[in-house]
Chains A and B, each alone.
Chain A
Amino acid sequence: MSSVEFSTRPVSDQPLRGDFGWRFAAGVAGAGLLTLMLAYAVVALLLRGTALWGTNIPFVWGFDLINYIWWIGIANAASLFAVVLVLRRHGLRTSVNRFAEAAALAAVAAAAIYPILHLGRPWLFYWTVPYPATFEVWPNFRSTLVWDFWGIMSHVVVTGLFWYTGLIPDLATMRDRAVAKGRMVQAQIYGLLALGWRGSVRHWARHQAAYRLVAALVLPMLVSAQTIVALEFATTLVPEWHQARLPLHVVATGIPSGLGVVLALAALLRGGLGLTRYIDDEDMHLLGKLTAAAALLCGYVYAEALLVALLEDATTRQAMAARAFGAYAALYWGGAALVVGLPQLLWFRRARIKARWAVPIGLGAAAGVWLDRFSLVAGGLVRDHLPSTAPLYAPTMPEWTLLLGSVGLFALLMLAFARFVPVVSMFEMRHEESEADVP
């Protein structure tokens, strides 16, 4: 048996280790601090209101929507990546789909706080939910914001299911190994979450069916969730937003950002948790090339936007020009450079393998999409139907605090994921190795 040298022990040992070392502790401390900042920003917002932000009329949305779309984009691209791997039974799935799913879940969690906090009266957010209230007023089903509510809810549920379904066999493994190590409390928790998994053939058959079914469910939803977010803009009368290509733009530019985050995380986990054996160079090559290819696609989307604008009516053309060459031009071109240009470095072999290249490139792509979202939300309003004398939108300190806080929340969730569950899918690894054994 060739599996003599192969073992999933290093993966399962990580969550069962008592001490994660000072680096992990420092990471948790940093992320925790940022999450506390988030709590502070939220409390300040609830007490003082949206006046804390740099928003005004006409720039009614700022970091609230920018960060929301950005996080949703990351979540969707990460999920999309994981789903495609599962459905295509791609070799890479063993190594990266688990934390791609986790990254998606954490990003959805970070995204989901914004649509609530962005409200003037956040405590009434549940009025977008159709429930039989005594005053018998239902949500306005024509409103894209109601569609968005369903989009986010479905996203949270399905992403969570997808991640959790994939985790069940590994949770059972964790349970068994925790028992073997005599850690009964952990064993009971893992056991509870493993839903009585015994690894019978029947279990495996049903698991595989369920896993692929959920994955198939995720796929259309990812496109739809991004599209619904884009429709919040595209259905308005704002000239630069009111364009059919906007959903495509938002979906397409979301991909390199999500892949970039997964790439950066993979590179970090590889180095940080010593999992080079399990996330091997081939995986990194595949991920890197996918990111670079997605970025190329974005290049097409950007070029199309500029070219088609030339054919549009004067108002739309001026609006596009105002966004690309107006007050927020730096954001537009910075976004384009980071989303389209920077990932092209991943065509180089070294850039894909070395964490010191892959991490900045991956995060750079994500930052580029953030700039793109900023350019969309603020720059898209520079040229409206009527001129305005209001000052431009610029984020304030409380908004930055909110953004940093949501990054902290994302990091904390990812660290918790690395601490408590196997970061690489053990059952898939075993499956792959056993397939490899077949002559």
Chain B
Amino acid sequence: MTPPEAPLPEALAAPDPDRRSVLRAAGASLALATAAGCDWAPAEFGSPLYAPARGLGGPAQSYATVLELDGIGRGVLVRVLNGHAIKIEGNPRHPGSLGATDVFLESAVLGLHDPARSRRLRQRGQVVRDPALLAAWLAEQRAALAAQGGAGLRILTGPVSSPTQRRLIAAVLAAWPGARWHVHAPLADAAAAEGARLAFGAALVPRPDLSTTRCLLALGADPLGPGPAQLALARGWAEARAAGRQAGRLPALLVAESTPSLTGSKADRLLVLPPWEIEALARGIAAELGVAAAAGATHPEAATLAASLRAAGPEACVLAGRGQGVAVHALAHAINAALGAAVPYLEDPTEAAAGTLAELVAEADAVTHLLVLDANPVFDAPADLDVAGLLRRVPHSLHAGPQVDETALAAGWHLPLRHPLESWGDSLAFDGTAALRQPVTRPLVEAAVSVEELLSALAGPRADGQALVRETWRAAWGEAGFEERWRAALEAGVVPDSAAPAGVPVLRDDFTLPPPMPAPATPVAIFAPDPHLWDGRFASEAWLQELPRQLGSLAWGNAVLMAPADARAAGLAEGAEVELRLADRVLRAPVLVTPGQAPGVVTLPLGGGRRAAGGVPGGIGMDAYRLRQVASPWMAAGLSLRATGGAGWAERGADFTLAGDPRVRRLTPGEAVPPLPPPRSLYPDWQYTGHAWGMAIDLDTCIGCNACVVACQAENNTPVVGPEEAGRGRAMHWLRVDRVVSGSAEAPQVDFQPVPCMHCEKAPCEVVCPVNATVHDHEGLNLMIYPRCIGTRTCSNNCPYKVRRFNWAGYARQAGAVPVHNPNVPVRPRGVIEKCTYCQHRIKGAQDTARQEGRALRDGDIVTACQNACPTRAIHFGDINDPTSDVSRAKAEGRNYALLGNLDTRPRTTYLARLVS
């Protein structure tokens, strides 16, 4: 018996169990046992996943893999919790990511969980429930093809860099000697390859290291804009910029462009020119720099730009962009050569000895069997190539794709394709660095196959995806030490030292240029990829549809970009509907009056107007492919415009320009923002004795790429509200990127300003909340207590930054809501306000990890989602109580200022002013 002087602590002195508590405990055990069974442990899949733990605390793990854009790989780390892939982060070791992400990478996790993904076999668009039917059909076709030696078999793919896929395609072509491979890349630019052949005799592509470039001339090029190499180029540019700020000598970015781009917005010198003027400028600069083939050409701006380039010498770089003519590409290479610029060139990793889509359509009569692999030519082929007709005429066609897209509905058979996050594979980065792709989750669609498996089945007996990839690399590495290298490559997410050899090529001796492009009759149409939908493949990603475009804040739809002068001349107001007519094809679309657009040039963004795009309703935006022609894929003259009198979208409200816009500051090197008068308050200051979290956003390096916005949305379960609600101004983004346009409409100065919650010391939202639902925590975070919020919205009224968002409806919990959730962040119900928390769960996770490891929290342990995504590392976050922290040093710069600092809200988020030389 327990001696009476030593009673048990009260908590342990449990009473004798009675019947009710026994039943209660039994019930709880049963419930917990059921819950434990809900996890999808990856081990069930049978494929071991290799990764050292990179968890954010707790059981989450990161797996390295690779995702592609236009066939080019970008390495990612996928955060997996209980078998669910919940967030994509960049892989710092991969040259195509360097730890950053772009909007496409971030949204991959949404594509994986898309409930509207293709899940079933289809025959002529109709669901087929019995997979044996396809197997029987395949066996039949195999026999038929065997009889003709594969003649009539055509394989159509997108651009392919994957060594395994290329090996398998080669095996298929070897097994079926009559077969042919065609590549369809709607955004590939044949002029670039042609220009490189003119200059060097080979289709080389420049891979500049912008971190060492002191003068960059972009001739219609958008190195900072979206694309497979954006993350590396933007990082390099930001590093050069940071070095220039240190040295007091900013690198020069010279941009000549016809339509506004992210690169143009960061230009030190921006020339808004139509494409033929860009060519004339390129010729003029080349003539100034002594390129013999361009001798005699002049342009009024050429001398100054040539002088800047000459001053930078080997540290100069000229890039020609997508859509420019052959001459511009060739001239860019020639100028680089003339300057002795240290710009390495290498062979395009997706370059292949394959036919084009146009060739495939031309020989349609010879095709009996067509295999379309992960491409959607019915939607994204030029309008004068009748791919739908081809699919109708070809007796036997099979389309494999991740969505039930236009081609899936037109093809004879459709087979759901595995998501890249579900399958094995490999890929090359823009610089040729190889990376292995491993599944990070159990396949979510049972019927789906991977491209590799499909190709292997065509070449011989169908093999497992992992075996196929291993076979490729076993051939490359040999047997000795293969397992170790394989594991190391999987863990790192990159095959070490696999970059393709690059060198500075020599200009051909017989370098000549095609004759100058005459100025066509205006207006001309130029085509451009959509910054969020790309070639249209991302139209099913609700995050990207709802993400306001960098230009004009358009979401859920696209528009024709017109120069203000052109719009005035045509009598078109912003948002008015215009009818475009090009070679007897007609398209109606709303107009976006765009400062910085070249007069006489109308930009048609591709990728909108998908007729079948998964769960996203069809017909959002206009489909510019319908005006595109094979002969003139990037610029087409003979466009005619007519105002229809209709309205493309409703008038948008409270936008106004601010005289001497106080939001974005521009300084010259060495200048400092004048300090504000000392703040006043009725309330005493609070002393933060421990940590005090703060953020600094460098507007000098922010390129407005929107990656942070999608990263924030993915991390914080920010709901998608849909086109109607977004049109009412109810999008929920916790972080927005404001575009501040100043200067003239012809040559505007554009600044981007990401605006998260400011976490004000004297937060105006807190005093007005009647129920104390938004309060400061002990580390200075201004936080929402969702269960306490009753939804008066007063806090939003009193927030001068307007960063608070309200759940007007139960967006996150209603039917059709985004199906992927971060379990560390609550999913907010209807009727409550929500906003940026500085990724408070990440702060807590890092603190837990540090405590478990028995150490103090280090600067850099906490990385917010937006910060981690940023390709230029413009976002600094950390402890402002620690004067040595990265964020404290950023805030100590003379460029540091508070947005609306005159209101004395004392924001924790501050900005570093943009520098102009």
Which residues of chain A from 230 to 249 have any CB-CB distance to chain B below 8 Å in the complex?
232, 235-238
Partner of B772, one of A49, A137, A387: A137
A57/B800 in contact, CB under 8 A = no
Q: How far is the CB of B797 from chain A (nearest CB, A)?
A: 5
Q: Mark B791-808, 1 if CB is under 8 A from A, else 0.
A: 111101111111011111
A139/B770 in contact, CB under 8 A = yes
Which residues of chain B from 693 to 729 have any CB-CB distance to chain A below 8 Å in the complex?
725, 727-729
B806/A57 in contact, CB under 8 A = yes
Q: How far is the CB of A432 from chain B (nearest CB, A)?
A: 46
Counting CB contacts under 8 A, is A7 at the interface? Answer: no
Counting CB contacts under 8 A, is A145 at the interface? Answer: yes
Known A-B contacts A60-B793, A60-B806, A237-B798; the reply to A387 vs B832 at CB < 8 A is no
B654/A382 in contact, CB under 8 A = yes
Residues of A within 8 A of B792 (CB): 118-120, 145
Known A-B contacts A120-B793, A121-B789; the reply to A57 vs B730 at CB < 8 A is yes
**Which of A61, A235, A385, A386 has the most chain B CB atoms inside 10 A of its CB?**
A386
Give the CA-CA distance A58 to B799 in the complex, in Å: 9
Q: How far is the CB of A119 from chain B (nearest CB, A)?
A: 5
Residues of B within 8 A of A191 (CB): none
Residues of B within 8 A of A381 (CB): 654, 797
Counting CB contacts under 8 A, is B353 at the interface? Answer: no
B729/A56 in contact, CB under 8 A = yes
Counting CB contacts under 8 A, is B43 at the interface? Answer: no
B809/A51 in contact, CB under 8 A = yes
B769/A60 in contact, CB under 8 A = no
A389/B770 in contact, CB under 8 A = no
A140/B769 in contact, CB under 8 A = yes
Counting CB contacts under 8 A, is B479 at the interface? Answer: no
Residues of A within 8 A of B903 (CB): 237, 385
B767/A140 in contact, CB under 8 A = yes
Residue of B nearest to A322 (CB): B656
Residues of B within 8 A of A386 (CB): 663, 738, 755, 800-802, 900
Q: Mark A276-300, 1 if CB is under 8 A from B, else 0.
A: 0000000000000000000000000
Q: Mark B646-673, 1 if CB is under 8 A from A, else 0.
A: 0000111111111100010000000000
Residue of A nearest to B830 (CB): A49
A390/B790 in contact, CB under 8 A = no
Give the CA-CA distance A53 to B809 in the complex, in Å: 10
Q: Mark A386-403, 1 if CB is under 8 A from B, else 0.
A: 111111100000000000
Which residues of chain B from 864 to 905 have any CB-CB distance to chain A below 8 Å in the complex?
900, 903, 905
Counting CB contacts under 8 A, is B49 at the interface? Answer: no
A120/B807 in contact, CB under 8 A = yes
Residue of A nearest to B725 (CB): A51
Counting CB contacts under 8 A, is A383 at the interface? Answer: yes
Q: Interface size on B (CB < 8 Å)?
A: 57
Which residues of chain A from 124 to 164 have any CB-CB distance to chain B below 8 Å in the complex?
124-125, 127-128, 137-140, 142-146, 149
Known A-B contacts A236-B764, A392-B653; the reply to A385 vs B800 at CB < 8 A is yes
B767/A388 in contact, CB under 8 A = no
Counting CB contacts under 8 A, is B34 at the interface? Answer: no
Counting CB contacts under 8 A, is A181 at the interface? Answer: no
B832/A127 in contact, CB under 8 A = no
Q: Mark A62-94, 1 if CB is under 8 A from B, else 0.
A: 000000000000000000000000000000000
Counting CB contacts under 8 A, is B83 at the interface? Answer: no
B770/A387 in contact, CB under 8 A = no
Known A-B contacts A121-B831, A238-B797, A384-B802; the reply to A49 vs B808 at CB < 8 A is yes
Give the CA-CA distance A149 to B808 in the complex, in Å: 23
B809/A139 in contact, CB under 8 A = no
B806/A120 in contact, CB under 8 A = yes
Give the CA-CA distance A407 to B799 in the complex, in Å: 33
A139/B772 in contact, CB under 8 A = yes
- Total number of A-B contacts with CB less than 8 angstroms? 175
B791/A50 in contact, CB under 8 A = yes
A387/B654 in contact, CB under 8 A = yes
Residues of B within 8 A of A59 (CB): 729
Q: Mark A30-60, 1 if CB is under 8 A from B, else 0.
A: 0000000000000000001111011111111
Residues of A within 8 A of B768 (CB): 142-145, 235-236
Residue of B nearest to A123 (CB): B790
Which residues of chain A from 179 to 210 have any CB-CB distance to chain B below 8 Å in the complex?
none
**Which of B650, B729, B798 has the most chain A CB atoms inside 10 A of its CB?**
B729
B658/A387 in contact, CB under 8 A = yes
Known A-B contacts A138-B772, A142-B767; the reply to A119 vs B802 at CB < 8 A is no
Counting CB contacts under 8 A, is B788 at the interface? Answer: yes
- The B interface is mostly helix, strand or loop, or mixed, namely loop
Counting CB contacts under 8 A, is A113 at the interface? Answer: no
Counting CB contacts under 8 A, is B916 at the interface? Answer: no
Which residues of chain A from 288 to 329 have any CB-CB distance to chain B below 8 Å in the complex?
314, 322, 327
Residues of B within 8 A of A48 (CB): 809
Q: How far is the CB of A176 from chain B (nearest CB, A)?
A: 48
Give the CA-CA distance A327 to B830 in the complex, in Å: 30
Partner of B796, one of A49, A60, A137, A149: A60
A388/B798 in contact, CB under 8 A = no
Which residues of chain A from 366 to 383 have any CB-CB distance to chain B below 8 Å in the complex?
381-383
Give the CA-CA distance A136 to B817 in the complex, in Å: 35
Known A-B contacts A57-B806, A60-B793; the reply to A389 vs B655 at CB < 8 A is yes
A49/B831 in contact, CB under 8 A = yes
Q: How far is the CB of B806 from chain A (nearest CB, A)?
A: 6
Q: How far is the CB of B379 from chain A (nearest CB, A)?
A: 30
A58/B796 in contact, CB under 8 A = yes
Q: How far is the CB of A1 from chain B (nearest CB, A)?
A: 60
A119/B656 in contact, CB under 8 A = no
Counting CB contacts under 8 A, is B201 at the interface? Answer: no
Counting CB contacts under 8 A, is B467 at the interface? Answer: no
Q: Mark B804-825, 1 if CB is under 8 A from A, else 0.
A: 1111111000000000000000
Q: How far is the CB of B732 from chain A (nearest CB, A)?
A: 9
Residues of A within 8 A of B790 (CB): 119-121, 124-125, 127-128
Residue of B nearest to A232 (CB): B794
Partner of B808, one of A55, A128, A146, A327: A55
Residues of A within 8 A of B788 (CB): 127, 137
Residues of B within 8 A of A145 (CB): 768-770, 792, 794
Give the CA-CA distance A327 to B651 in the complex, in Å: 11
Residues of B within 8 A of A235 (CB): 768, 798
Known A-B contacts A57-B729, A140-B771, A140-B772; the reply to A388 vs B797 at CB < 8 A is no
Residues of A within 8 A of B654 (CB): 58, 327, 381-384, 387-390, 392
Q: How far is the CB of B553 from chain A (nearest CB, A)?
A: 5
Residue of A nearest to B811 (CB): A51
A391/B791 in contact, CB under 8 A = no
Residues of B within 8 A of A385 (CB): 800-801, 900, 903
Residues of A within 8 A of B833 (CB): 120
Give the CA-CA distance A381 to B769 in the complex, in Å: 19
Residues of B within 8 A of A237 (CB): 764, 798-800, 903, 905
Residue of B nearest to A235 (CB): B768
Residues of A within 8 A of B804 (CB): 57
Which residues of chain B from 239 to 253 have any CB-CB distance to chain A below 8 Å in the complex?
none
Q: How far is the CB of A134 from chain B (nearest CB, A)?
A: 14
What are the 8 A-B residue pairs with the smallest beta carbon separation, nearest first? A120-B791, A120-B831, A390-B729, A56-B729, A392-B653, A51-B809, A60-B793, A145-B770
List 18 A-B pairs, Cβ < 8 Å: A50-B809, A58-B797, A120-B793, A120-B832, A121-B831, A139-B771, A143-B769, A143-B770, A235-B798, A236-B794, A236-B797, A322-B656, A382-B656, A385-B900, A389-B553, A390-B653, A390-B729, A392-B654
Given known contacts A50-B806, A137-B788, A142-B767, what 20 new A-B pairs fall within 8 Å (CB)?
Answer: A49-B807, A55-B808, A120-B789, A121-B832, A124-B790, A139-B770, A143-B768, A145-B770, A232-B794, A235-B768, A235-B798, A382-B653, A384-B654, A384-B800, A386-B738, A386-B802, A387-B654, A389-B652, A389-B654, A390-B652
B interface residues, Cβ below 8 angstroms from A: 548, 553, 650-659, 663, 725, 727-730, 738, 755, 764, 766-772, 788-794, 796-802, 804-810, 829-833, 900, 903, 905
